[in-house]
């Protein structure tokens, strides 16, 4: 099987899942995975906007409509499941915040509003605790048409975002802000957009197997030098993610790759909620056995969501052939 974007997305989602559900997992690669998602999103959204939707009012309307159908219906289902977990599990002495500090009931109208709309505003309580990264992506969806149809706009977004990160300083104490805030994360999407713009030139460097291998080796540096991921490592991983993306851009893939790609989004959304429910029956913390059980249940639930819900929602999407 040749690797493709579907397999890559699933692998990135897997890294996030195992970092949240197994205490023995290296933390660095999960952070690299989230920014790997960001870069791939910037690349793909630029590509489809330029070659599928176009800069017309109709094209941008269809783009927004299809993005809404892709993101929000399944997210709202995950929110309901997360709310049920927060309310019910506390009655049995299980605290979902054990898996993620954000997995608590929202307080105040702003936190409730962010939970519903996914606006890129940092809040303390989320029924889907990994949705903070998704909110950053939603914010970029609004602005990325500017970068898709203007390389100077993409360069400007990259430079300004990096300058803001530089103001905080590239050290461990500022990692949380640089890693999760909308304006500091914007550079990754802008870089992905530029990779899409310069795809024809960059594809001469494609090396699917080697690029993934180097990406994986880089993820292990944390074992020997703890500060690396939280300082400059996250940025170096972004360069390597760009190499992977450009290496996969022209790959011809099959059904398995598409299935894994479809599973990646619900796996990302539901894994913490599933893990919280598994805590009700499995009281050994975030052991490897806990991860295995939670991951298998997450896969089964995600498959049901893809087949029973996502495929039906897809029927309502605006169909536009790629130019």
- CA nearest neighbour of 15 among 212, 309, 194, 210: 212
Largest CA-CA distance found in the chain, in angstroms, rounded: 58
b vs e for 10-35, b when ≥16 Cβ sit within 10 Å of the residue's Cβ? bbbbbbbbbbbbbeebeebbbbbbbb
Unique residue bearing structure tokens 């409509």:
65
Q: What distance in Å separates the CA atoms of residue 310 and residue 191, rounded to the nearest whole number?
A: 29
C-alpha separations of 142 from 48, 98, 294 in Å: 14, 34, 34
| Phi then psi dihedrals of residue 49, to 5 deg | -65, -40
Q: What distance in Å separates the CA atoms of residue 297 and residue 299, rounded to the nearest whole number?
A: 5
For 224-262, give the secondary structure using H, E and C. Answer: CCCCCHHHHHHHHHHHHHHHHHHHHCCCCCCHHHHHHHH
Residue 57: its H or E element: helix 57-91
- With contact defined as beta carbons under 8 Å apart, do 267 and 14 qualify? yes
- CA nearest neighbour of 206 among 267, 151, 249: 249
Helices (H) and strands (E) in the chain, counts: 14, 0
- CA nearest neighbour of 146 among 37, 41, 43, 46: 46
> Which pLDDT belongs to residue 102?
92
Mean pLDDT by 10 residues, the chain (323 residues): 87 95 85 96 96 94 95 96 94 90 93 95 93 94 95 97 96 93 96 97 95 95 88 96 96 90 97 94 85 96 96 88 75
Q: What distance in Å separates the CA atoms of residue 81 and residue 165, rounded to the nearest whole number?
A: 35
């Amino acid at each position: 099987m040749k690797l493709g974007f579907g397999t890559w997305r699933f692998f990135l989602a897997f890294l996030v899942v195992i970092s949240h559900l197994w205490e023995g997992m290296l933390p660095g690669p999960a952070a690299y995975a989230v920014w790997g998602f960001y870069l791939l999103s910037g690349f793909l959204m630029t590509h489809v906007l330029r070659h599928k939707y176009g800069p017309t009012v109709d094209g941008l309307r269809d783009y927004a409509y299809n993005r809404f159908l892709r993101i929000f219906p399944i997210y709202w289902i995950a929110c309901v499941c997360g709310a049920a977990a927060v309310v019910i599990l506390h009655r049995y002495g299980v605290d979902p915040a054990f898996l993620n500090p954000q997995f608590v009931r929202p307080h105040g109208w702003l936190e409730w509003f962010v939970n519903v709309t996914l606006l890129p505003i940092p809040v303390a309580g989320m029924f889907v605790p990994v949705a903070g990264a998704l909110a950053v992506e939603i914010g970029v969806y609004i602005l990325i048409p500017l970068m898709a149809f203007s390389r100077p706009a993409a360069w400007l977004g990259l430079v300004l975002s990096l300058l803001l990160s530089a103001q905080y300083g590239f050290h461990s104490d500022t990692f949380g802000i640089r890693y999760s805030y909308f304006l500091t994360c914007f550079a990754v999407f802008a870089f992905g957009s530029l990779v899409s713009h310069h795809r024809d030139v960059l594809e001469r460097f494609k090396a699917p197997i080697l690029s993934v291998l180097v990406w994986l080796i880089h993820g292990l540096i944390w074992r020997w030098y703890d500060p690396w991921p939280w300082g400059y490592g996250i940025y170096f991983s972004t360069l390597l993610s760009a190499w992977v993306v450009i290496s996969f851009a022209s790959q011809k893939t099959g059904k398995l790759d598409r299935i894994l790609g479809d599973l990646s989004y619900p796996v990302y959304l539901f894994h913490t909620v599933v893990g919280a429910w598994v805590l009700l029956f499995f009281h050994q913390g975030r052991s490897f056995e806990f991860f295995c059980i939670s991951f298998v249940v997450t896969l089964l639930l995600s498959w049901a969501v893809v087949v029973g819900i996502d495929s039906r929602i897809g029927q309502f999407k605006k169909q536009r052939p790629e130019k």
